[in-house]
């Protein structure tokens, strides 16, 4: 078990380094396009990432308003998208297929970072986010 945790920890650090690189690129793009990069959004992004143990890589985007948005999805129609607004608030969207042949549940809203984390648990999306 210890070896598995060590491997996961190294993987998480690699993912965090890739996020640092991606954010640097997005800042440069924001400057080039005249978009004001929301530093509070970045701070909330990192706070949220700390809430998720052994986080796996999601797709990180810069919104037109300067906010960061991350999306995790899988091949089973499950998706979590989180836009970091600053002030520990986030806009989120959840798609969750509860049964193999059932409809996809869809929820969206604005909540605190901890509230979004509670939604992740309520919809049993931990496996979507964790390595």
The arithmetic mean of pLDDT across residues 34-50, rounded, is 95
- Alpha-carbon span 95 to 125, nearest angstrom: 10
pLDDT value of residue 7: 56
The arithmetic mean of pLDDT across residues 114-127, rounded, is 91
- Alpha-carbon span 69 to 67, nearest angstrom: 7
pLDDT at residue 105 greater than cutoff 80: yes
Taking alpha carbons only, the member of 94, 83, 97 closest to residue 120 is: 94
Total residue count of the chain as it appears in this document: 131
pLDDT at residue 108 greater than cutoff 80: yes
Digit-coded pLDDT (tens) for 52-89: 877 888 999 999 999 999 999 998 889 999 999 999 99
pLDDT value of residue 76: 85
pTM more than 0.85: yes
- Alpha-carbon span 52 to 64, nearest angstrom: 26
Element (H, E) at 4: helix 2-33
């Amino acid at each position: 078990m210890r070896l598995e945790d060590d491997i996961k920890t190294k993987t998480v650090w690699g993912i965090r380094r890739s996020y640092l690189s991606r954010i640097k690129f997005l800042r440069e793009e924001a400057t080039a396009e005249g978009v004001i990069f929301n530093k509070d959004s970045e701070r909330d992004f990192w706070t949220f990432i700390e809430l998720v143990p052994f986080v796996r890589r999601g797709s990180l985007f810069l919104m037109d308003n300067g906010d960061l948005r991350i999306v995790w999805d899988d091949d089973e129609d499950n998706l979590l998208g989180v836009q970091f607004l600053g002030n520990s608030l986030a806009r989120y969207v959840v798609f969750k297929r509860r049964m193999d042949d059932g409809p996809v549940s869809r929820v969206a809203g604005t909540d605190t970072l901890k509230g979004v984390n509670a939604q992740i648990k309520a919809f049993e999306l931990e496996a979507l986010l964790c390595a």
